[in-house]
């Protein structure tokens, strides 16, 4: 895992956005895995800015979102489809037909989940999967106890997740009890994962994910099994990591290598 620690949430979000926009510029026809929640909001803000001010072109990008609440139509203000439309899609030039968010209203969920997996495969697989992390260490809606080999399916939300997400609804009783979510196995199939976490309330989950054992009780810890993961944190989210000095040293060396590589004259 490459651990990048920025000073504050803004800097961490800009760093994560830079990762995504660099891929889009390098591979205009890329497949992005996208996430919802409070954490990616500033990332999307920066990507919209780059689209408006720096010609970041989304016309060939395909996207797949991680999850959606069961039962909410895309027009519901708390549905993840609505979130994505409002906070990213309607501000950029990604074609609607290239956008995939699981449909929480599917009638035959088993079949629908298989189709979602197939669509990802047909698109060539996900190049870069953006991830947030729950305070209980979940990625997407893979709650503690989820199989680390799981694929897209229906998941019952934990009380903790329902409480955490109740802030977006009028009351906890309005939060859907189930979600359709990519599995841990689906996420691990992505070519690269970019986990973004900010704030002290994520510090414990981050420490367990990065430095704890791989366990289905902290589904994000499965990322240790992936060969290309970048974890972008702010100082607060990194506060409980034991090996911060080492991560900073590695990052310093990494930057030196990258800048040497960039300044290398091409073609010679
Ligand atoms: P948050 O959610 O970004 O709103 O904290 C993250 C998650 O639960 O995956």
Ligand 1 binding pocket includes 38 (Cβ within 6 Å): yes
Is residue 258 in some structural domain?
no
- Position 230 in a domain: no
Is 63:26 a contact under the CB 8 Å cutoff?
no
DSSP string, 73-97: -TTSTTSHHHHHHHHTGGGS---GG
The single residue of 46, 136, 164, 189 carrying the catalytic annotation is: 136
Q: Which two tokens stand for residue 267?
A: 């073609």
C-beta of 134 in contact with ligand 1 (< 6 A)? yes
233-251 average pLDDT score? 97
pLDDT in tens, 147-190: 999 999 999 999 988 998 999 899 889 999 999 999 999 999 99
Task: Count structural domains, the chain.
Answer: 1
Is 235 inside any structural domain?
no
Known active-site residue 138 = yes
pLDDT tens digits for range 70-117: 999 999 999 999 999 999 999 999 999 999 999 999 889 999 999 999
Domain range enclosing 137? 2-192
Is 67 assigned a catalytic role?
A: yes
Domain CATH number, residue 49: 3.40.50.1360
In a domain, 217, yes or no: no
Asked whether residue 139 is assigned to any structural domain, the reply reads yes
Q: Give a yes or no: residue 208 inside a domain.
A: no
- Indicate whether residue 9 lines ligand 1 (CB < 6 A): no
* The two structure tokens encoding residue 233: 């944190």
User: Residue 100 falls within a domain, yes or no?
Assistant: yes
With respect to residue 211, please indicate whether it lies within any of the assigned structural domains. Answer: no
**pTM of the predicted protein model:** 0.95
């Amino acid at each position: 895992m490459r651990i990048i620690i920025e000073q504050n949430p803004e800097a961490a979000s800009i760093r994560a956005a830079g990762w995504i926009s660099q891929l889009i510029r390098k591979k205009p026809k890329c497949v992005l895995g996208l996430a919802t929640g409070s954490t990616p909001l500033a990332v999307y803000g920066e990507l919209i800015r780059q689209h408006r001010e720096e010609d970041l072109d989304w016309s060939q990008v395909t996207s797949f979102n991680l999850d959606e609440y069961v039962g909410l139509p895309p027009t519901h203000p708390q549905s993840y489809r609505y979130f994505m439309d409002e906070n990213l899609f309607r501000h950029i030039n990604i074609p609607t037909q290239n956008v995939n968010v699981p449909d929480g209203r599917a009638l035959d969920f088993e079949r629908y989940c298989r189709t979602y997996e197939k669509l990802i495969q047909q698109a060539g697989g996900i190049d870069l999967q953006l991830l947030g992390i729950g305070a209980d260490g979940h990625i997407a809606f893979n709650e503690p106890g989820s199989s680390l080999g799981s694929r897209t399916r229906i998941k019952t939300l934990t009380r903790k997740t329902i409480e955490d997400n109740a802030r977006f609804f009028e009351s906890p009783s309005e939060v859907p009890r189930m979600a359709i979510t990519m599995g841990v196995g689906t996420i691990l199939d992505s070519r690269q994962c970019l986990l973004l976490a900010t704030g002290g309330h994520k510090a414990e989950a981050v420490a367990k994910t990065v430095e704890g054992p791989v366990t289905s009780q902290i589904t994000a810890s499965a990322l240790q099994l992936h060969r290309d993961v970048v974890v972008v944190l702010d100082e607060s989210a990194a506060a409980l990591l034991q090996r911060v000095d080492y991560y900073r040293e590695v990052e310093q060396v990494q930057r030196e290598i990258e800048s040497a590589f960039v300044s290398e004259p091409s073609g010679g």
